[in-house]
Chain A
Amino acid sequence: MKMFRKQLGSLSRISTQLQRNVIASGAASRTAEMSTNVAPALDAAALDEFRTAVANPGEHSTLQSAKFYTIPVEQKKQIFTGGGLPKQYEQQIKTFTETCLMVRSPALELLQYIKNADLSKPAVRYVLYGENGVGKTLTMAHVLHYGALNDFVLVHVPWAPNWMKRPKEASNASGQEGFIDLPFDAAAWLVHFKNQNAQLLQKLQLKTSKEYVWSKRESTPAGASLIELVEHGIARIKYASETTAALIAELKQLATNNQCKIMVAIDGFNAFFHPITRIFSDNKQRVSPDRITLTQPFLDITNYDWTNGVCILSVDKIAMTEGYMDSYMPRYLLGKEGFEHLDPFVPIHVKNYTEKEFMSYISYYLDRHWISKTPPGFEKQLKFMSNMNPYTLMQLVRGL
């Protein structure tokens, strides 16, 4: 912690920027609270009090805060089949037979930023941070839904640490010496990319700018559609990593040329800068993430040297390994290198539920028959036990 503060002090420019943003977000949340005091009287009559009929995240405002909106089944299938929602949340969705997300202030803040952003300027990086189980991934899911509805090409990594912690297979990269390929994970990501963007790519008719030669016999010519590129990567798993790199480079260029706009969303982004992975090279040495071919394109696309895009990144304690989980602050989790890579960025603090959000969640659970013990004062007990932390609340309510 001491070290953390010292380094932060030395980067005074960053620290002031951070503070400014925190103040700004604080102000935003304050305004949100003020307006919520007025809100319930307006639309209490329609639906259940905790639900909202506004299913388009682009139209969400503080009026809808702490209310649930439903993602239609097809859209959920399109965006989240390859991941993006926590496993337990998926289970909950299955049990409750509906995909409901709560409109919360960090997502609203982020959406407001994105809507007002000037896309002709270099890509802005937004970093979601907060304690464990506070809703960073679901905030990201909310924004992803917005992106999918507003013709953003989604470059979404559901959980980056998966690559570093439990890779399906690791092999030596053919192109670069000393690098490691994760062919299966890369192919899986390409499938996920295709699921999310197939329709949009069909519509936009994006073409590759140059020829990619994979081997003597295989190549993708210049002017081929991006879908062809992706499908090649899926079919030839050996070249999946290289395909990913090519795809992302192409996307970046296309966006800069104003042919499409891109939303990058990477959950657990700090895993790219955490030196301890579970991948081993041939001589049984731990491979650091910068030696993994899959890392480079995603670091490349989170740079600010391109336009027409937004980057939503989350830093997470559980993306780290044991002994590196002392703080949830971006500077600590990203390390010096990572912080400098992202600098300047817009930090967005995701916090525990507010009073209103908590009560709304309780009434949602009651509506779905998930809580069946309701003696007077049970909300108070749950509030006390969970400290209004979303994940803890979810865990507590399981056995009731």
Chain B
Amino acid sequence: MLTHFAFDVTVKTADCSTHNKNKIMRVPGALYAARGRAPQNENDVPFQEILPLRLKNSVSGKADSGADVACLQEMGVLFACLKDNEFVEQYCSKEITKFQQCYKFYMDRKFEAKKTVNQGIVQPGNNLNYKQLNKYLKRYPNPK
């Protein structure tokens, strides 16, 4: 959950008495390096809450899609075989069927996974997908 903060970024040469060194900040010049960057005055730069400073009651499903890389090894074996046989497929039928089976298995699994996700059955455990999480969050929303 990302919450956003915004500051008024007009730099003001205010009071320079503080010697608090900001270690993260890159040092732009010798002058600043000696004294360090002063924090903003809260009165001069008032805090604005652009997005609410609270967690939302839902999560997005983007991260769940995961990487799509599958059957790399089978593909490698297939390529090796094809190259050895000058790309005549009938000599590599074993490798081809293996590769296609692998891909089919992968796709089927993906399809099944999507189906179970879509069903959204809530079960206890820590490995929950976004649909399940959303159901939980709906039932137990963040306190206001």
Are A and B direct contacts in the complex by CB distance below 8 Å? no
Which chain B residues have a beta carbon within 8 Å of chain A's beta carbons? none
Which chain A residues have a beta carbon within 8 Å of chain B's beta carbons? none
